[in-house]
Amino acid sequence: MEHEEFITIRKKLEKTQRDIAHILGTSVKAVSSYEQGWRKIPGHVERQILLLLSKKIGLEKKNCWDLVGCPEDQRERCPAWEFNSGDICWFINGTICKQKPQKNWHEKSALCRKCTVFKRLIDA
């Protein structure tokens, strides 16, 4: 996540830097550093702010397997399917996207940013 996107999401959440620092369990100085681009936004912070955004905007629940036409055998091996979380598949590590699970958040995030499910969240 780039610092501009972090700022945009914080503003969509209608939170000050102090508010979002409290919610994320970090310092105001850390949030300021993320927003200035001085400090890389950790994966756990990125995931948490995206989850907050998804809850705030309240998108209609549409499952990833329906949106992307995931084959049945692939879905049955996927944690998003197992936990009935197809609307927040981008949040869950180990999902089976493009026929294989991603190894880490960086790899997963890069793939998710190209996906219809994630774009619904960011474009809302």
CATH assignment of the domain containing 41: 1.10.260.40
Q: For position 52, what pLDDT does the model report?
A: 96
Q: Domain span at residue 50? A: 3-57
> Span 6-11, mean pLDDT?
97
Considering the domain architecture, whether residues 70 and 32 belong to the same structural domain is answered as no
Q: What is the pLDDT of residue 60?
A: 84
- Render pLDDT for 41-93 as a digit per residue (tens, 0 to 9): 999 999 999 999 999 988 888 999 999 999 888 889 999 999 999 999 999 98
Tell me, yes or no, whether 45 and 81 share the same domain: no
Is the pLDDT at 23 greater than 90? The verdict is yes
Rounded CA separation 105/98 (Å): 15
One domain, residues 16 and 50 = yes
pLDDT by residue (tens digit) across 31-44? Answer: 999 999 999 999 99
Residue bearing tokens 């927003």:
35
Among 42, 57, 72, where does a domain finish? 57
Enter the tokens of residue 20. Answer: 């979002």
* Token representation of residue 57: 């905007």
Cα–Cα distance, 88 to 50 (Å, whole number): 10
- In the chain, how many domains are there? 2
**Residue 100 above 90 pLDDT?**
no
Percent above pLDDT 70 for the chain? 100
**How buried is residue 88: exposed, middle or buried, by Cβ count under 10 Å (0-12/13-18/19+)?**
buried
Domain identity same for 13 and 38:
yes
What's the pLDDT at 87? 92
